[in-house]
Structure 1
Amino acid sequence: MQSSGGNGFNALPESGTLPPMGPPAVPQNRFEPYFDAMTPRNVTALVGKSAYLSCRVRNLGNKTVSWIRHRDIHILTVGSYTYTSDQRFQANHHPETDEWTLQIKWAQKRDAGIYECQISTQPVRSYFVNLNVVVSEVPAGDEPSREVANKKNCSSCSPGARLFMYAIPTAQILGGPDLHVDKGSTINLTCSIRFSPEPPAYIFWYHRDDVISYDSNRGGVSVITEKGDVTTSFLLIQHADISDSGKYSCSPSNADVASVRVHVLNGERPAAMQTGSAGLSNSSLNILALMIISYIYTAIYLSLQLETKQTVAALR
């Protein structure tokens, strides 16, 4: 078994590769828990589908099993309880096979990496599983997004093989990467999720990496979501204040995070907003206003002149 550090997590080699693990060691006490090393340690999942990582624990007794993501040393589950705000993660126990399965719904490329199944012994015992997330091949009878003509980067392709590129669910916040709003106005952010085979199960909005609470004491925060072939989520923040500035992120269940930076202005105008097309637009509006005023003045003047002539003619 790998030695455990002071923080209770087992250290991995710097390369990030899985540590070697032979057959399960025979415990000194026949009632001690141990891992069945025959459980797969390399798992491949498809983008947008569920991934299942399993470890089989013998003689668990009164100990608990946890799943930990090594990318950020984040405890995902303890027993059957989930300890992450990402609702895609769920632990399932199958008593008949002694298996503890970590399910990752709507797997994304960012989910790839090493996961640790850990028994709460002293020291802890760990079983590492590596997850690969790949784009699916063409199912029978289905049409791909487009065929890839250039196969030179595919060393494992057989002669005559056909390669396809698939559209992966993508989130985008319109108007980014920087948005400027006036203090006291309403911040209106629109997140669009495209190329998704089905609408996301949920969409979280973040401000400075903190989940936005719609019922906080601040008030005036609401979200409207329209699901369809293209799912759109609108984040509305009324009475914008300087403290509302910063990074905003849209995080759907089935796509990577999209972010923009919002700048709440207290009357000032950045140089980028004073030049270019905005400046040209203001100048054009001023000229148009002068032309309209001149036209109205001329029309009134001609009308008065006509009335004067008619009055003089009547007096004669």
Structure 2
Amino acid sequence: MGEAEGFKVVNLLLTCIFLPYMASASVLVHDNKWEPRPRPYKYWADLQKDPVFHPDNVKDVVVARHSIAFIPCKIIGLVDHSVSWFHKPSSMLLTVDDFVYTTDKRISSHINEERTEQVLMITDVNFEDEGEYTCQVSTQPAISLNFHLHVIIAVAMIKGKKERYLNSGEDIVLRCTIPRLTYSPEYFLWYLGNNIYTYEDKENVEVITESKTRSSKLVIHNAQVSDSGNYTCTASNARPSHVIVHVVPEEVPSAIHHEDSSGCTSTSERLQNFLLIVIYAVFVT
């Protein structure tokens, strides 16, 4: 074996022996060159930055009485810092991370896996729970962000007139919303009369619930006279809203029955409707 070949063998043996140690020492050998091992940039960058509150935090939270309140505190670069929740004005300590210090069993705190959002949860909310809540991060010095919880008696609202007329074959479209709430209700229910409106076996009926707009829309395509009745929309922990729908046969124009939003027709409107009925009776029948 020549001198050059012997040098290559020795070099190979040394590389195999010391490569693990070089790797653990944050260096790499590439094309016979020594190069520093790259650090996990994102992790180190997060460690070097102080935590800050996310600008998209919603500071006013509106919930319905007897529902569940979620107060999310969004934080950038939390890493291994702790998050505490306080209730003002007494500055009572409620939670630290997921440890609960208050004796109120309705209260808990939860953090997501990415450690970017700490949520204070209060079940069966009542008016006494209204007020200011503080989210505090254990930096030096500590940083805090205040949230205000509003507890209301939620009321469902069906948009439009409270009494409606349409001809058979037209579509019934009813849209129900829960104003002011900052979260979507757990459920919406529609009633026809005193019974829950079931639509699973009806191909011409669809119910569309949108969590972003906190609304539910009931659509009955090609409505018939049998679809007439008192429709009610209700949601979890919300007062219901009602609307009366009249579906009239095609032979009788629905315009004859239209009333103003107050539910009462003026004298001129009644006279006009009477003349329409007379003209219809004379020329059609």
TM-score by length of 2: 0.40
- Whose helix fraction is larger, Structure 1's or Structure 2's? 2
Larger radius of gyration: 2
